[in-house]
Structure 1
């Protein structure tokens, strides 16, 4: 029986990546070493971990920083968050925008290169309602 699941992102700088999620998104450390940091959000229980890409626990030839990963984080007010992230100098790779499929979001890059999609759900356009099991 599955008891838990969370992403572990390989990175070249575990400390910098962890600091990013703590500082900008409110995660807290639950385990902290120089090669692995486990994070948990106190309000939601969402978990995320960072692992040194060169750590010996990773099978030989597979320890590369995470690329092509999109971490979705949902918020009550992405507009306010986007303003705070921009003011803090967080690299924005896609400006804040609304999507017809029901998301308002901004995409930023963490220090390890992982894309973080910060989302507030909005009402989808009518052509997407069926995808949500709605026919309003």
Structure 2
């Protein structure tokens, strides 16, 4: 298989509001918009938003939104993003900024429909975790 693209599609009850959230807070831009689907892009990264009741979803799977998903956004400067998003009052943190022994400095905020967004800068892991990295 030759993989040409891969991106998450978030099922939501409010396509316009969910797309607006990712445009406003994370700098995504729309590349396609319909009332039932919005395709977003930032640099080379893609994210799509889909009406959870759309006919392209198999009937047995319509209705639930994307809750329970954790989107990781790796950034150059997590502290600057903390100040911009949380310090500036735009979003409430679910997990305050902290450095983890497994090699991340990060914080988590809530997105629409129960999606969590983990904003991360990779840091040097502790010796305990360093051996677990393969590359």
| TM-score after normalising by structure 2 | 0.92
- Any idea what SS the aligned residue of 2:96 has? strand
Pairwise CA distance, 1:24: 1.2
CA-to-aligned-CA distance 1:52-111 (integer Å, 9 cap, x gap): 111111111212101211111011111111121112431321111110000000111112
Measured on the aligned residues, the alpha-carbon RMSD in Å equals 1.3
The answer for the alignment partner of 1:124 in structure 2 is 125
- Counting only pairs closer than 5 Å after superposition, residues 1-136 of structure 1 correspond to structure 2 as 1-42=2-43, 45-63=44-62, 64-86=64-86, 87-133=88-134
Counterparts of 2:80 and 2:6, CA distance in 1: 29
Counterparts of 2:61 and 2:48, CA distance in 1: 17
Instruction: Give structure 1 regions of 4+ aligned residues with deviation exceeding 3 angstroms.
Output: none
Counterparts of 1:91 and 1:54, CA distance in 2: 29
Counterparts of 2:23 and 2:59, CA distance in 1: 30
